[in-house]
């Protein structure tokens, strides 16, 4: 019991900021995100109409998100992690929300339940094709973002 107490005291005296994974130089994910966020907002390509299940697809050039092919190879494991795919996918959708609005507002009222009643956005799909990252997501993400924006404008908690 005494040994457990001593270990807890050691842990409580260590600050989170002091842990090795918190330094910028040792975090590959932070370095990768720094490259992405330093790049200008990229142009999206291949935007598809919403299909019958509510899926929308788009792509972005790897170099347009600030990565050289060499950097892409260096950060391949991080790029294909669920965290990175979700973060980059949502960032691209939010930065280019106007491109997706027609897909959302073009759904006839009688088909609304077919799109949103059976499925909802859970996570992005991503693959690499010809030096582009291709993303797929469910249109309910657009509804969620617009609802979030509306709540902020209307100051609804």
What's this model's pTM, rounded to 2 decimal places? 0.76
- State how many domains the chain has: 1
Q: Is residue 99 situated within a structural domain?
A: yes
Q: Is residue 2 situated within a structural domain?
A: no
Q: Is residue 15 situated within a structural domain?
A: no
Q: Is residue 4 situated within a structural domain?
A: no
For residue 127, give the 3-state DSSP assignment.
strand
Q: Is residue 68 situated within a structural domain?
A: yes
Phi (first) and psi of residue 125, to 5 degrees: -100, 145
Tell me the H-state helices in 39-79: 69-74, 76-79
Q: Is residue 14 situated within a structural domain?
A: no
Model confidence at 18, pLDDT cuts 50, 70, 90, reads: low
Best-predicted range by mean pLDDT (3-17, 66-80, 141-155): 66-80
Place of tokens 């910028």: 24
Tens digit of pLDDT for each residue in 85-125? Answer: 999 999 999 999 998 888 777 777 887 777 776 677 789 99
pLDDT at position 12 over 80: no
Of residues 7 and 136, which shows the higher confidence score? 136
**Region label for 66, one of left (φ > 0), alpha (ψ between -120 and 50) or beta (otherwise):** left
**Range(s) of the domain holding residue 118:** 41-154
pLDDT at position 21 over 60: no
Tens digit of pLDDT for each residue in 26-78? Answer: 588 889 999 998 999 899 999 887 787 788 899 999 999 999 999 999 999 99
In angstroms, rounded to a whole number, what is the distance separating the alpha carbons of residues 44 and 130? 14
Q: Is residue 30 situated within a structural domain?
A: no
Tens digit of pLDDT for each residue in 125-134? Answer: 999 998 999 9
Q: Is residue 102 situated within a structural domain?
A: yes
In angstroms, rounded to a whole number, what is the distance separating the alpha carbons of residues 16 and 122? 31
- pLDDT score, position 3: 55
């Amino acid at each position: 019991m005494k040994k457990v107490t001593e270990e807890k005291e050691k842990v409580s005296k260590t600050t989170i900021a002091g842990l090795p994974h918190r330094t910028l130089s040792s975090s590959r994910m932070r370095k990768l995100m720094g490259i992405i966020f330093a790049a200008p907002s990229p142009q999206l390509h291949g935007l598809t109409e919403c299909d019958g299940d509510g899926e929308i697809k788009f792509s972005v050039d790897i170099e347009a998100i600030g990565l050289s092919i060499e950097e892409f190879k260096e950060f391949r494991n991080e790029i294909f992690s669920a965290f990175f795919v979700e973060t980059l996918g949502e960032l691209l959708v939010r930065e280019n929300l106007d491109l997706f609005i027609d897909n959302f507002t073009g759904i006839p009222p009688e088909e609304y339940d077919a799109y949103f009643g059976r499925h909802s956005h859970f996570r992005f799909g991503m693959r690499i094709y010809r030096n582009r990252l291709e993303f797929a997501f469910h249109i309910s993400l657009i509804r969620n973002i617009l609802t979030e924006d509306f709540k902020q404008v209307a100051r609804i908690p």
